[in-house]
């Protein structure tokens, strides 16, 4: 790396996928020292990562209380209802789903649920428009019949005068 203004070389950080070895180092360090001061964690654990990367890895993947596996139907229903109520406030939604992270909920929403919702809305639009089309025609025809009756009544009134 090129030297910075003060003459010291900048340390290059690892980017990309985490290895099993890095996961073990991070988990062991946090088990002993706790999850605080993430920049110090990154350096003292011997990881060539930034503090933010370590924090996100721990919070979203390595914590022991994180639920792994598919999201159940009950959880999916709760996500749908909470999203309708709260919008895209993923951390508030995740707070009501024990063991699920806001990142996991957001990813599940964007990859599965939003598509499912859009598909249902389009299907509902199509069926609604098909159901209302005959009703509209019926309204038009009935309106025409009433217009004809009005013309007939006004003609009768005209002839009587």
CATH code at 32?
1.10.10.60
Residue 60 lies in domain: 1-64
Q: What is the pTM of this model?
A: 0.58
What pLDDT is recorded for position 3?
A: 47
Mean pLDDT along residues 40-67: 91
Q: Is residue 99 part of a domain?
A: no
Among 28-37, 55-64, 71-80, 117-126, which is the least confidently predicted range?
A: 117-126
Among 9-13, 97-101, 155-159, which is the least confidently predicted range?
A: 155-159
Q: How confident is the model at residue 6 (pLDDT cuts 50, 70, 90)?
A: low
Q: Is residue 104 part of a domain?
A: no
Q: Is residue 30 part of a domain?
A: yes
Residue that the structure tokens 């003459």 belong to: 7
Domain count for the chain, please give it: 1
Report the mean per-residue pLDDT for the chain. Answer: 80
Q: Is residue 19 part of a domain?
A: yes
- ∠ Cα 144 148 150 (to 5°): 115
Q: Is residue 22 part of a domain?
A: yes
Q: Is residue 32 part of a domain?
A: yes
- CB-CB contact of 105 with 113 (8 Å): no
pLDDT surpasses 70 at 91 = yes
By three-state DSSP, how is residue 63 classified? coil
Q: How far is CA 91 from CA 14, 64, 113, 122, 126, in A?
A: 28, 18, 17, 29, 35
84: tokens are 């309708």
Q: Is residue 37 part of a domain?
A: yes
């Amino acid at each position: 790396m090129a030297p910075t203004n003060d003459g010291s070389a900048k340390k290059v950080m690892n980017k990309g996928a985490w290895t099993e070895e890095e996961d073990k180092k991070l988990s062991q360090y946090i088990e002993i020292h706790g999850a605080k001061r993430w920049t110090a964690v990154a350096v003292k654990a011997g990881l060539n990562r930034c503090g933010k990367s370590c924090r996100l890895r721990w919070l979203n993947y390595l914590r022991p209380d994180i639920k792994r596996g598919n999201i159940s139907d009950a959880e999916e229903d709760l996500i749908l209802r909470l999203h309708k109520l709260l919008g895209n406030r993923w951390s508030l939604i995740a707070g009501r789903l024990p063991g699920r992270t806001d990142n996991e909920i957001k990813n599940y929403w964007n990859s599965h649920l939003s598509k499912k919702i859009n598909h249902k809305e389009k299907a509902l639009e199509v069926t609604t428009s098909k159901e209302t089309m005959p009703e509209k025609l019926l309204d038009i025809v009935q309106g025409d019949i009433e217009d004809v009756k009005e013309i007939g009544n006004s003609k009768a009134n005209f002839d009587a005068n």
